[in-house]
């Protein structure tokens, strides 16, 4: 009886009534899981020199992370996970504009914190692989674990176009999956369909920029690498590449 009473009191204390706070917490938790799994897939591939993972396993990790994250927050915040998707919902008048900066801040913060968690988990592997030198370029670079960097041949304009097209296809695909007037996805399997959509984009449009399609997913971890020791070169890919 005492234990039941204690648990009931604890639940009442932790239960959050404010809907916006609930949505923000759900969105942050979902982004934390999304980025944790996604970046860990990249970390395992890079630090093992592809002996314990490759580009396909990294893409699978990212796609499955999307599925899990939607299941986590879909019923509370809608599992936007992505500022671009939140913006699209605003433009379609399905999400209030005043919530947009709040969601963007939460998504980016969640990605930043999650990058720190990945760095902690793979700290020894990263420093062993890089010989203790944290760099964004060169044969032993490790910044690409956390953020996406363009191929050597890619121009700024082509990189911009690449991401506009990939993100547009992602959003159109998600809207089609969620449209009840469309050929419906079985209820409860929408996250699986979105994960397959993400995987299809990664394996078909990943060679130019790594196919981030998510400003929070890229900027949050990139900001973490800046403060964690990789330095300003993580923001200067155009100038460094010349």
Residue 236 DSSP code: -
User: What pLDDT is attached to residue 55?
Assistant: 92
Threshold 0.85, pTM exceeds:
yes
Q: What residues in the chain have per-residue pLDDT under 70?
A: 1-15, 237-242
pLDDT tens, residue by residue, 209-218: 888 889 999 9
User: What pLDDT is attached to residue 6?
Assistant: 62
Q: Which CATH architecture has domain 19-235?
A: Up-down Bundle (1.20)
User: What pLDDT is attached to residue 228?
Assistant: 93
**215-228 per-residue burial string, b: 16 or more CB within 10 A, e: under 16:** bbbbbbbbbbbbeb
Q: For the range 212-215, what are the long-range contacts, defined as Cβ-Cβ under 8 Å and sequence gap of 24 or more?
A: 212/147, 212/148, 212/163, 213/82, 213/84, 213/163, 213/166, 213/167, 213/170, 214/81, 214/82, 214/83, 214/84, 214/167, 215/82, 215/83, 215/84, 215/104, 215/108
Token code pair at residue 57: 């396993």
User: What pLDDT is attached to residue 87?
Assistant: 94
User: What pLDDT is attached to residue 155?
Assistant: 87
CA-CA-CA-CA torsion for 162, 168, 170, 175, nearest 10 degrees? Answer: 180
User: What pLDDT is attached to residue 139?
Assistant: 87
């Amino acid at each position: 009886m005492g234990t039941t009473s204690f648990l009931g009191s604890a639940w009442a204390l932790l239960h959050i009534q404010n809907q916006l706070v609930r949505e923000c917490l759900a969105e942050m938790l979902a982004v934390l899981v999304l980025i944790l799994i996604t970046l860990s897939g990249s970390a395992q591939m890079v630090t093992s020199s592809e002996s314990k993972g490759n580009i396909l396993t990294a893409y699978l990790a990212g796609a499955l992370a999307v599925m899990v994250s939607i299941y986590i927050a879909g019923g509370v915040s809608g599992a936007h996970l992505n500022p671009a998707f939140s913006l699209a919902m605003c433009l379609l008048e399905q999400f209030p504009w005043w919530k947009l900066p709040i969601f963007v801040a939460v998504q980016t913060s969640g990605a930043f914190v999650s990058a720190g968690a990945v760095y902690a988990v793979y700290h020894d592997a990263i420093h062993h692989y890089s010989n203790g030198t944290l760099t964004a370029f060169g044969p032993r670079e490790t910044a690409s674990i956390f953020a996406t960097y363009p191929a050597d041949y890619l121009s700024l304009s082509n990189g911009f176009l690449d991401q506009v097209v990939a993100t547009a296809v992602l959003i159109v695909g998600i809207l089609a999956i969620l449209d009840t007037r469309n050929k419906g996805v079985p209820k409860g399997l929408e996250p699986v369909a979105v994960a397959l959509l993400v995987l299809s984009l990664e394996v078909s449009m990943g060679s130019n920029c790594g196919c981030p399609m998510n400003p929070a997913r890229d900027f949050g971890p990139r900001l973490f690498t800046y403060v964690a020791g990789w330095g300003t070169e993580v923001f200067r890919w155009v100038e460094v590449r010349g």
